[in-house]
Amino acid sequence: MRRRNLAFIICWQSSIIVIGTNTRNAKALLEIERLERVNRIKEISRSIVLILLGTSLSALAYTQLIIPNRMLSGGVTGLSLLINRLTGWPTGTLVLLINIPILILGYRKIGGKFITLTIFSVLSFSLLLNSFPTMLTIDDLLLASVFGGALNGLGLGLVLKAGGSTGGTDIIGVILNRRYSLSMGEVMLAFNGLIVLASALLFDLMGALYTLITIFVTSRAVDALQNTKERKTALIITGMPDEIAAQIHGQLHRGVTFLQGEGSYQHGHRKVVMCVLTRFEIAQLKEIVVQEDPSAFMTISDTNEVVGHFQDFNPFRRPQG
C-alpha cells in the first residue's frame, strides 16, 4: 500500500501547530505564518522608528525655536506651555497628564492599535520635551516661527504616517476627519486658534501673532505629508471576499461592494471587493487583506469626488451582537 503522509494542523492564538508528518500543505501554511510574522515585525519596527523620529523633531522644534522665543503652540502642547508659564511645572509632564482623558476618548472612538501607538508617541514626546535642553538657536521671531512650525509639522506628519499621533488635537482631528472629512490641518488650526486667543489675553499680542504663524505653517506641513482629505478606492481580487469584507466592516466600519470579475486566461469567476476610504485607513486595509488572503491582488487609486452617503457613514459605529 502507498504510504499516506498525514498532518494534524491546530490553530492556537493565531499560531499554526503541525502534529505528525509534514505535508506540502502544512509546510505552505507554516511558511505563510512565518511571512506574516516577519511582516508584522517589520510594520511594528517601522512605526516605532517613525514615531521616535517624529517626536524628536517636534521636541527639537519646541526646545530650540518655539519656547526660547516666548511663543506658544496650539492644542494640548500649547495649553501645557500656558500652564508652564503660569506655574513653572514641566511642560512634558503637563502634556502627558492632559492627554490621559483624551486617550481614553480616542480608545472608545478609534480603536486599540491607534491608541497604543499614540500612547507610545505621547510618552516619547513628553520624555524628549523634558530631556532636551532649551536653547535659543534663532533670535529672529519670524524665522523661528516659520522654521519651528515647519519642523513641528514634519514631526507630526511622520507620527501620523506611522499610524499614531501625538495625542491632544491630533486624536480629535482624526475623529473629525473620519466623520466630517475635515483635513488634519484644518482641525488643528481651529482648535489652536482658541489657545492663541487665550495667549493674547494673558500675555502679549506680539507673541500671539507669531504663534499664529507657527501654527499655520505646522498645519500646512502636516497636510503636505498626510493629505488625509483625499479619498481612495480599493479593488481587491481575492478568493476570500466574505472574510475580508467582514474585517473591513468590523475594523474600519466601512461598507464594501462586491463586483463580479472574470479572469481572461482561465475565465474563472471571482468576487471583487470594492471599498472607498480615506488615505489614513489604507495601512490598516493592507493589514486586513494580507492577514486574510496573502495571495490577494489589490489596487488602490485616487478618488477625486464621492457622491452619496460616504460622509454620513459613522466609522465608529460598533457592530451589534
Q: Same structural domain for residues 182 and 294?
A: no
Name the residue range of residue 170's domain.
Answer: 45-226
Tell whether 316 is covered by a domain. Answer: no
Q: Same structural domain for residues 55 and 131?
A: yes
Alpha helices in the chain (DSSP H): 24-61, 75-87, 91-109, 112-131, 141-161, 169-180, 184-202, 205-226, 241-247, 282-292
Beta bridge partners of 269: 262
The DSSP 8-state label assigned to residue 244 in this structure reads: H
**pLDDT digits over 264-311, tens only?**
777 778 889 999 987 778 888 988 999 899 889 999 988 876 776 654
What's residue 148's pLDDT? 94
Q: Same structural domain for residues 31 and 142?
A: no
Which cell numbers hold the place of 149? Answer: 512650525
Q: Which amino acid is at 301?
A: S
Tell whether 321 is covered by a domain. Answer: no
Specify the length of the chain in residues: 321
What's residue 185's pLDDT? 62
Q: Same structural domain for residues 212 and 236?
A: no
Q: Tell me how far apart the alpha carbons of residues 52 and 120 are, in angstroms, rounded to a whole number.
A: 9
Q: Could you tell me the pLDDT band of residue 226, with boundaries at 50, 70 and 90?
A: low
Q: Under DSSP, is residue 258 helix (H, G, I), strand (E, B) or coil?
A: strand
Q: Same structural domain for residues 63 and 29?
A: no
Q: Which residues contact 128 (CB under 8 A, 6 or more apart)?
A: 55, 56, 59, 92
**pLDDT digits over 163-206, tens only?**
888 888 767 776 777 677 666 667 767 777 788 888 888 888 88
Mean pLDDT of the chain: 81
Tell whether 313 is covered by a domain. Answer: no
Choose between 3 and 123: higher pLDDT: 123
Q: Same structural domain for residues 106 and 146?
A: yes
Q: Same structural domain for residues 264 and 291?
A: yes
Where among 178, 199, 226 does a domain terminate? Answer: 226
Q: Tell me how far apart the alpha carbons of residues 252 and 285 are, in angstroms, rounded to a whole number.
A: 8
- Least reliable range by pLDDT among 21-25, 64-68, 103-107: 21-25
Q: Which amino acid is at 279?
A: R
CB atoms under 10 Å from CB of 290, counted, come to 17
What is the mean predicted confidence (pLDDT) over 99-117? 80
Q: Same structural domain for residues 17 and 145?
A: no
Looking at the predicted structure, is the pLDDT value of residue 86 above 50? yes
Tell whether 2 is covered by a domain. Answer: no
Query: How many domains, the chain?
Result: 3
